Amino acid sequence: MRNSRKVIFAGVMVLLVGSPLYYFLNEKLSRGVYHQGFYYKKVDLKAIGAFELDPQTGSLADLPNQYRALDGQKLFLEGEIYDPQEAGKDITEFQLVGMRRGDFCGPPRVQERVFCTVPNEKLNYRGPGYHKVFGTLHVTMKREKLADGRNCLIEVYHLDADSVERSKSD
């Protein structure tokens, strides 16, 4: 009887200490890229933008290797749909940002948003809340010339979306 209590106590302690430790190590080692299933990788939208990047001088070499390696891969991201055109349900281009209500501390930086293009017939839902967007990611480093002559980085990530659906975790 005594030994079984020790085993149960040890098991509970392993769960209490092991679960948070596993979660912490998993987040640190994966850096926001999770291999789930055979077709799409799950990518944490906040993680892929959590690095410093100068919008004037930033280059592909400034991106962490694990995010450059996502170029051309099938993945899905979860985030808020931002439509700068405010076009309603007929949008085919939008930005996906990883901010929940209460997170706001200024507009997202260029590396913290993913520019998405989706065929209209595949956009299942448009409205407030988090959405899952599935597609092929491209690391673009797109620039635009400003009125003062400087080149400014306006896009780092672009997703050719296969589908969009409302997230159940909203």
Exposure class string for 118-144: b at 16+ Cβ within 10 A, else e: beeeebeebeeebbbbbbbbbbebeee
Q: Where residue 2 falls among pLDDT bands split at 50, 70, 90? A: low
**Where exactly are the structural domains of the chain?**
1-30, 32-166
CA distance 112 to 37: 25
Q: Where residue 123 falls among pLDDT bands split at 50, 70, 90? A: low
Strand partners, 159: 116, 137
Closest CA to 128 of 69, 75, 73, 82: 82
Q: Where residue 29 falls among pLDDT bands split at 50, 70, 90? A: very low
DSSP, collapsed to helix, strand or coil, labels residue 118 as coil
- Name the residue with tokens 């291999």: 35
CA distance 15 to 11: 6
| pLDDT tens digit sequence for 126-140 | 566 788 888 999 999
| pLDDT tens digit sequence for 52-99 | 999 888 899 999 998 999 999 999 899 888 877 665 566 778 889 886
What CATH superfamily is the domain 32-166? Nucleic acid-binding proteins (2.40.50.140)
